């Protein structure tokens, strides 16, 4: 199946035009967004500076292991829509089927979420213009960027990500200068804010767990490099290079940013409690820039967050389209979605994804905040299911690879810390999936409507998996029967 899929992707015209710089920025851009620019303040306010930093480091380690697992698979078997293929070949056919459809659903819905967020961001400048107009405009832009060619998508994502990375770098430089007292904004902070109230660990272990779950959602998107591997110009070379750079850059940006925020703003600050995209003026990034004397900080950060939102939507359109395309190639989706344009774009899959993304127009009927939160909750869990699937697929791939006597020297990129890495990632992903809203079960009265919204992704995945398994009679792939490309 693997050889057939890769041959079809090449012969049917899927263009390999993404370079190392594209892959690196796609992975970085997918994880730097509103989770860092807005929700980071909430993390510090809930768990204290030490608790938030520990949570980011813990989830960062998990993401590292997920990325190295994916890097080993993607460099050796670069196929577009990789998770579904890996799950089919090395776990169970129904598992790969469910993984693919859930991932498509996740990103298709996330596009709608991002477009609703764009409405809210634009309302900062244009209070009288109806939000659905912005949704139509930005959905059209994202569609055009994806329908032209994969190179067009790659260049756009590179620019979006460059804006976000530059903002974080400037923030870190400004923050360090403020901490050591060179820039205005008060006396040198040092570790004073780490000694306020119950700092550094406010709220104890429960708060750290809560924040870890929020942080996990912030890191989602790093796995996009596996989807893009199928259109990399030289995946056996570019994937290892991108993998060596991505994690350390992401961890550096996140950990340093959280550390700087915690040193400059006490976790007890009321501003950090108002953590929502509706009020960009209380973003911790905005607060730090404003304290440094940048009076237009709110407008600047609003522009950056708009770029982050469009970047996420652009990446989501690409990822969901390629996943649906691969499912169609493997006979797990209607064949019409495997059709490619002259530019090498799976246009029918793109049209279908765009239609689903148009759910954002519901915000023109209902309150856009309500639609935003509802869509976000229904799509969030599936991202962790994808990570969990990557960890399982890599673990079984490596075991089967070695059991069949294949040399590890054949792997263009080899994940370290095996089997500890994928096992650690699997356990932590499972904990986050099951415990994302555990506090609801501790309340005196359980709101089952909220429970269903929060956990709907789990039964949906199991339903798709088990239905396929029963219908096709599929079973777990034995190590001895696994197929590896020659």
pLDDT in tens, 417-433: 999 999 999 999 999 88
Question: What is the residue-wise DSSP string for 379-442?
Answer: HHHHHHHHHHHHHHHHHHHHHHHHHTT--GGG-SS--SSTTHHHHHHHHHHHHHHHHTTGGGGG
| Residues facing 476 on adjacent strands | 92
The per-residue pLDDT for range 448-475, each reduced to its tens digit, is 877 877 788 888 899 999 999 999 999 9
State residue 351's pLDDT score.
95
**Spatial CB neighbours of 455, under 8 Å, sequence gap ≥ 6:** 381, 436, 437
- The pLDDT value given to residue 239: 82
Q: Which helix (H) or strand (E) holds 283?
A: none
Q: What is the pLDDT of residue 359?
A: 75
Answer whether 305's CB lies under 8 Å from 282's CB. Answer: no
249, 415 Cβ separation under 8 angstroms: no
What mean pLDDT is predicted for residues 215-242? 80
The reported pLDDT for the residue numbered 327 is 93
pLDDT digits over 404-418, tens only? 999 999 999 999 899
Residue 221 is predicted with a pLDDT of 79
Dihedral sign, CA of 375, 377, 378, 379?
positive
pLDDT of residue 420: 96
Give pLDDT tens digits for 271-302.
Answer: 776 555 555 556 788 888 888 887 788 788 88
Q: What are phi and psi of 18, to 5 degrees?
A: -90, 130
Using CB atoms within 10 Å of the CB of residue 252, give its burial: 0 to 12 exposed, 13 to 18 middle, 19+ buried. middle
Between the alpha carbon of residue 362 and those of residues 80, 105, 321, 370, 374, the distances in Å are 31, 17, 22, 10, 11
The tokens for 66 are: 């997920």
- Give me the pLDDT at residue 268, please: 87
CA distances from 247 to 27, 39, 145, 294, 401 (A): 9, 20, 27, 31, 25
Rounded to the nearest integer, the mean pLDDT of the chain is 84
Q: What SS3 class is residue 476?
A: strand
pLDDT tens-digit map of 27-64: 676 677 777 887 788 888 888 999 999 998 998 889 88
Would you list the DSSP string of 66-127? Answer: HHHHHHHHHHHS--TTHHHHHHHHHTBHHHHHHHHHHHHHHHHHHHHHHHHHHHHHHTTT-S
Give the model's confidence band at 232: pLDDT under 50 very low, under 70 low, under 90 confident, else very high: confident
More confident residue, 2 or 181: 181
> What are the start-end ranges of the H helices in 265-357?
284-291, 297-329, 347-357
What are the domain boundaries of the chain? 21-474
Prior bond of 419 cis (ω within 30°): yes
Would you list the DSSP string of 345-360?
--HHHHHHHHHHHGGG
Of the pLDDT bands very low, low, confident and very high (cuts 50, 70, 90), residue 373 is low
pLDDT of residue 387: 93
What percent of the chain is predicted at pLDDT more than 90?
A: 31
> Residue 286, SS3?
helix
Is there a contact between 261 and 40 (Cβ–Cβ < 8 Å)?
Answer: yes
Answer whether 121's CB lies under 8 Å from 387's CB. no
370 sits in which H/E element: helix 368-403
pTM, whole model, 2 decimals? 0.88
What would the two tokens of residue 15 be?
Answer: 């263009």
Band (11; pLDDT cuts 50, 70, 90): very low
Backbone angles phi, psi at 24, to 5 degrees: -65, -45
For 323-341, how does the pLDDT look when each residue is reduced to its tens digit (9 = 90+)? 999 999 989 999 999 999 8
Three-class SS of residue 232? strand
Q: Does domain 21-474 have CATH number 3.40.50.12140?
A: no
Q: Is the pLDDT of residue 270 over 70?
A: yes
Q: What is the DSSP letter of 18?
A: B
Q: 386 pLDDT exceeds 60?
A: yes
Q: Which residue has the higher pLDDT, 269 or 372?
A: 269
pLDDT at 377: 62
Confidence check: pLDDT of 74 > 60: yes
pLDDT at 469: 94
Tokens 């440094």 appear where?
292
């Amino acid at each position: 199946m693997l050889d057939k899929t890769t041959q079809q992707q090449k012969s049917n015209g899927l263009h390999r035009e993404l370079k190392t710089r594209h892959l690196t920025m796609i992975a970085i851009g997918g994880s730097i967004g509103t989770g860092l620019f807005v929700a980071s303040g909430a993390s510090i306010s809930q768990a204290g500076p030490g608790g938030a930093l520990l949570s980011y480091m813990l989830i960062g380690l998990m993401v590292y292991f997920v990325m190295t697992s994916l890097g080993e698979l993607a460099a050796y078997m670069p196929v577009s829509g990789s998770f579904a293929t890996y799950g089919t070949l090395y776990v169970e056919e129904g598992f790969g089927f469910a993984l693919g459809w859930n991932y498509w659903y996740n990103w298709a819905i996330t596009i709608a979420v991002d477009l609703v967020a764009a409405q809210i961001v634009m309302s900062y400048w244009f209070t009288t213009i109806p939000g659905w107009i912005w949704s139509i405009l930005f959905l059209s832009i994202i569609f055009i960027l994806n329908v032209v060619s994969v190179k067009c998508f790659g260049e756009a994502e590179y620019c979006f990500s460059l804006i976000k990375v530059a903002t974080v770098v400037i923030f870190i430089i400004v923050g360090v200068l403020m901490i050591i007292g060179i820039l205005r904004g008060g006396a040198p902070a040092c570790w004073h804010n780490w000694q306020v109230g119950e700092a550094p660990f406010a709220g104890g272990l429960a708060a750290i767990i809560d924040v870890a779950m929020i942080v996990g959602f912030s890191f989602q998107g790093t796995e996009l490099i596996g989807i893009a591997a199928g259109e990399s110009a030289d995946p056996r070379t570019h994937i290892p290079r991108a993998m060596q750079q991505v994690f350390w850059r992401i961890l550096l940006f996140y950990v340093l940013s959280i550390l700087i925020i915690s040193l400059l703003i006490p976790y007890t600050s009321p501003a950090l409690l108002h953590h929502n995209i509706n009020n960009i003026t209380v973003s911790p990034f905005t607060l730090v820039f404003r304290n440094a004397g940048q009076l237009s900080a709110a407008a600047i950060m609003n522009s950056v967050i708009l770029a982050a939102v469009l970047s996420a939507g652009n990446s989501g359109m690409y990822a969901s389209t390629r996943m649906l395309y691969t499912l169609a190639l493997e006979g797990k989706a209607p064949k019409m979605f495997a059709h490619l344009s002259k530019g090498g774009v799976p246009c029918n899959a793109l049209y279908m994804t765009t239609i689903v993304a148009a759910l954002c127009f519901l915000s023109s009927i209902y309150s856009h905040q309500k639609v935003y939160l509802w869509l976000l909750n229904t799509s969030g869990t599936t991202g962790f299911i994808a990570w969990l699937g990557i960890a399982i697929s890599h673990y079984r791939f490596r075991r089967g690879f070695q059991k069949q006597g294949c040399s590890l020297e054949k792997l263009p990129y080899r994940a370290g810390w095996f089997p500890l890495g994928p096992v650690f990632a699997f356990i932590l992903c499972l904990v986050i999936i099951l415990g994302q809203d555990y506090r609801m079960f501790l309340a005196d009265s359980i709101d089952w409507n909220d429970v269903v919204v929060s956990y709907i992704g789990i039964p949906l995945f199991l339903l798709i998996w088990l239905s396929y398994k029963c219908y096709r009679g599929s079973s777990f792939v034995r190590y001895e029967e696994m197929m590896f490309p020659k």
